[in-house]
Structure 1
Amino acid sequence: MITTSKKNTIKSFILNFARPLDRSLFIFNFKTINKDEVVVELMKYQNEDGGFGKAIEPDFRLPGSSPMATTIAMQYVNELQVAPTHPIIKDAINYFLNTYDQEQKRWFTVPEEVNNYPHAPWWHVNKETKNAGVESNWANPNAEIVSYLVQYSELVPSTFLQEVLDLALMKFSDDIHKMEMHDLLCYIRLFEVLPNEKYPIEINKLVSRVQEVVQTTTDAWENYGPKPLTFAPTPKSLLYPFLKDEIEVNIQYEIKHLNERGYCEPNWAWGQYDQDWLKAKEEWKGYLTVKLMKSLKEYGYLEKETASE
């Protein structure tokens, strides 16, 4: 349980050190500011082409748009439950429609220009394959992008939507046995917006693969990898019923390992661009801490404040 005193320490860190976007999201979740104030901060990362960049994903500092950065922005949009008629959504969906590679049947995570700016090594793009290091399978970020096209289907040509959805389901069937954490997260987001009753076999396969991949020991959690909370950050998550016992242990671990100043520490590093990594690391601290606090709130691990508090 997070005591009120500890919560105040965490709150102080977020309000003083998190980037404005994450700070405003925290205030929205725990206070009474309008979601529009968070959207204003989010739109600062949006470019004229409708896509997002400007280091919204702190591990690559490309100012221009990329499909990957735009998926990060859409995760904020979903958490805020922004109205489908909002221009931020229309412009982002148009960006996805305009950047699909019809010949390759995919979106590439980031453009080659990412190499010209500070970035983590796993975001470096191979100029011959056009792949970044994270692109081991089609799923990431393609399945997640398809989830947004499904969610906002009124903005997407129906024939194209059916084409990419069919492709996503085919890739799922072909690749599920080799998917890793990020691939699975993309498909979780897709199946969360599809009618569950239509895909029982696929969901069973998804659950089985997550249970194979998820790390359930505290020793493993010291390093970067798929924790139970990664797959089920709230009790409303699709995978929660299958991970609830592991999640209780994971939550206790996260509470115990909060820094005494009230933040989560990223357990990875770039190994290059040292000064830029330090900036990214601070941004990650705020992002991760706000995300954890949302989970702790949803799972009931925050001590209730008295009326005087």
Structure 2
Amino acid sequence: MDIFTAARDFVRRDARVLERRLFATVFEGADAQGVVDALRGFQNADGGFGWGLEPDKRCPDSLPLDVEVAFDTLLAAGARDEDMVRRAVDWLASVATPDGAVPLCGPAVEGYPHAEHMTEWTYQPGVNPTAGLVGRLHKLGVEHPWRDKAAAWCAEQLANGFPEDAHGMHEALEFLEHRGDADLDRVREWLPKLAYYRADAADPSYGVTPLQFAQTPDSIWRPLFTDEQLDAHLDRLIADQQPDGGWGITWEPPGPAATLEYRGIVTVGALRTLKAYNRL
């Protein structure tokens, strides 16, 4: 069975409705409204997103991390729902610091099953996820006073230095992409200093790879990496497909259901990357 067919069968069999809808939209021409409708079940009355949209915590409360996943899903589907997004940004504004910064999560996660890495560090407002949320709002074409306030804060933070880990750097690059003054040399110089940056395709450990920074060949961050680097990571991505057709993960979600949900997310993501780089 080929890569795509095996992955399709995995998604149809084991992924949650949201990823099945996203798969159908991206690969089978289904209406993107189906993705929007599936996301509605994760949006709370306060406008934020919760209910384990990002599966590493089973918390129903609205969290910025879940808002970010919602924005990513809309972007992946090519879907737009300005009311849905605007309500989410209104909620972000309500929980932000006076400067506009937000944290990934909050203490509410402690009352529910959650992955071990979901600890106090995720309660601190920071570039991760504030910068990434601002960047995604630019991609979605949604203006909002919070976006402008948070953008000013992010610009000030990044002028003083880049984040020290690859997740934060990924968020920073989402933000910098829309400023029109990306300093590729400065970014390239910083990459080897990042914690959790998986530069070597042969490295089996957890980390952020060049393919996550340059998700498509036309990404402005594509020149950060050589053809050989990207080809090696694409080869590794193909090799990492599991016998059941899905892709595995290198961390421990809070339970079997969350693990399958995350595998559905990364499987659709892997297929999108392979499609973008003409490897399917």
**TM-score between the two structures when normalised by the length of structure 1:** 0.82
Does 2:205 match 1:223?
yes
Deviation at 1:268, TM superposition (A): 1.2
Match of 1:192 among 170, 174, 177: 177
Deviation at 1:244, TM superposition (A): 4.2
C-alpha distance in 2, partners of 1:254/1:148? Answer: 25
Change in CA separation of 1:244 and 1:293 when aligned onto 2, cut-off 3 Å: farther
Does 2:265 match 1:290?
no
1:279 partner amino acid: A
1:186 partner amino acid: E
Match of 1:108 in 2: 103
C-alpha distance in 2, partners of 1:219/1:154? Answer: 40
**TM-score between the two structures when normalised by the length of structure 2:** 0.90
Unaligned runs of 5+ in 1: 126-130, 271-275, 303-309
Unaligned runs of 5+ in 2: none
Deviations 1:199-256 (A, max 9, x none): 244x542333235434232342x11112111211211322112224211100101111
Match of 2:67 among 66, 70, 89: 70
Question: Secondary structure at 1:62's aligned position in 2?
Answer: coil
Q: 1:47 touches 1:53 (CA, 8 Å); kept in 2?
A: yes
Match of 1:141 in 2: 129
Question: Secondary structure at 1:56's aligned position in 2?
Answer: coil
Does 2:42 match 1:45?
yes
Deviation at 1:19, TM superposition (A): 0.8
Greater radius of gyration (CA) = 1
CA RMSD of aligned residues (A): 2.2
Question: Secondary structure at 2:117's aligned position in 1?
Answer: helix
Match of 1:123 in 2: 118
C-alpha distance in 1, partners of 2:47/2:13? Answer: 30
Q: 1:61 touches 1:117 (CA, 8 Å); kept in 2?
A: yes
Deviations 1:247-269 (A, max 9, x none): 11001011112112211110112
Q: 1:93 touches 1:155 (CA, 8 Å); kept in 2?
A: no
Match of 2:156 among 170, 177, 189: 170
Query: Matched residue pairs, number?
Result: 277
Match of 2:238 in 1: 255
Deviation at 1:186, TM superposition (A): 0.7
Q: Percent identity?
A: 23
C-alpha distance in 2, partners of 1:282/1:154? Answer: 32
Deviations 1:117-150 (A, max 9, x none): 000122123xxxxx437x5x82111111222454
